[in-house]
């Protein structure tokens, strides 16, 4: 698995030290010149870039939708990322498939791979969505971390553990049912608990992950336990993008990233 830990602006320049690739949030390209310049420079340096559609950051204000489609088209052609996560709609199977069908036919920059996201309210919907995305021609598919139906599948009393276990169970069942094939390519969007990723060691189709968890834990002054966490940090990119390095323990960022790799057996 290749890994990215999204960071606030003050850590962008140092993030390549512990990130295998860069994970771009397109709405921030319109909001912050320093953030935009980082991605222009990253592209010039040949850094691998996955561009998101900013759904996680904007869904609460955009009624379940990500960033403006016109701006997504614009930044897609400007940054020319290696992968682009096409617009999905939070927990809405039908609208997500409609978007996916539209965006698979878009003319992408050379070497840009479109990635679609499974959105569902039940395992059956997830199964249908994943199968539909493959029929449309997507070569790589993502699973978000926060879907509410995950907790109904795992039934664990701890909400964060329930969602982490729920995603594992969904992906495991899809694999066991041969809906996910061994040579499929999957991206994991975010996490509830950092130790989740070690539980995918027998699933070679998990190709990439992104999670700001160790960074946000550090901002909350939380040091990872040797086994991980039992709750999700409260800090997030929406509220801490412009945080000053004087406001948190930057050294703890590196400690958490180190423990993250250890608990997940990632080199």
CATH of the domain at 48: 3.20.20.105
pLDDT number for residue 209:
97
Q: Is the dihedral of CA 182, 183, 184, 188 positive or negative?
A: positive
pLDDT number for residue 158:
96
pTM of the model: 0.96
pLDDT number for residue 267:
80
Q: Name residues of the chain where pLDDT drops below 70.
A: none
Q: Which two tokens stand for residue 217?
A: 């834990």
The total number of structural domains that make up the chain: 1
Q: Quote the domain boundaries for residue 71.
A: 2-263
What are the pLDDT digits (tens) for 58-98? 999 999 999 999 999 999 999 999 999 999 999 999 999 99
């Amino acid at each position: 698995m290749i890994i990215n830990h999204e960071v606030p602006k003050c850590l962008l320049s140092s993030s390549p030290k512990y990130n295998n690739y860069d994970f771009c949030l397109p709405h921030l390209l319109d909001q912050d010149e320093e953030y935009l310049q980082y991605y222009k420079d990253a592209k010039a340096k040949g850094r691998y870039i996955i561009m998101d559609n900013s759904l996680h950051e904007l869904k609460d204000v955009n009624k379940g939708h990500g960033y403006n489609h016109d701006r997504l088209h614009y930044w897609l052609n400007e940054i020319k990322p290696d992968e682009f996560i096409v617009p999905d709609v939070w927990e809405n199977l039908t609208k997500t498939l409609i978007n996916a069908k539209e965006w698979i036919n878009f003319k992408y920059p050379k070497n840009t791979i479109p990635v679609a996201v499974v959105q569902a309210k039940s395992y059956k919907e997830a199964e249908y969505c994943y199968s539909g995305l493959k029929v449309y021609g997507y070569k790589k598919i993502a699973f978000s971390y926060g879907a509410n139906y995950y907790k109904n599948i795992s039934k664990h009393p701890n909400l964060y553990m329930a969602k982490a276990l729920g995603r594992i169970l969904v992906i495991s069942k899809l694999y066991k049912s041969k809906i996910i094939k061994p040579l499929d390519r999957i991206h994991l969007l975010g996490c509830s608990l950092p130790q989740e990723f070690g539980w995918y060691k027998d699933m070679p189709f998990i190709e990439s992950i992104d999670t700001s968890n160790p960074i946000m834990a550090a901002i909350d002054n939380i040091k990872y336990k040797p086994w991980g966490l039992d709750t999700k940090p409260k800090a997030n990119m929406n509220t801490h993008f412009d945080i000053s390095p004087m406001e948190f323990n930057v050294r703890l960022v590196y400690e958490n990233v180190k423990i993250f790799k250890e608990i997940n057996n990632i080199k």
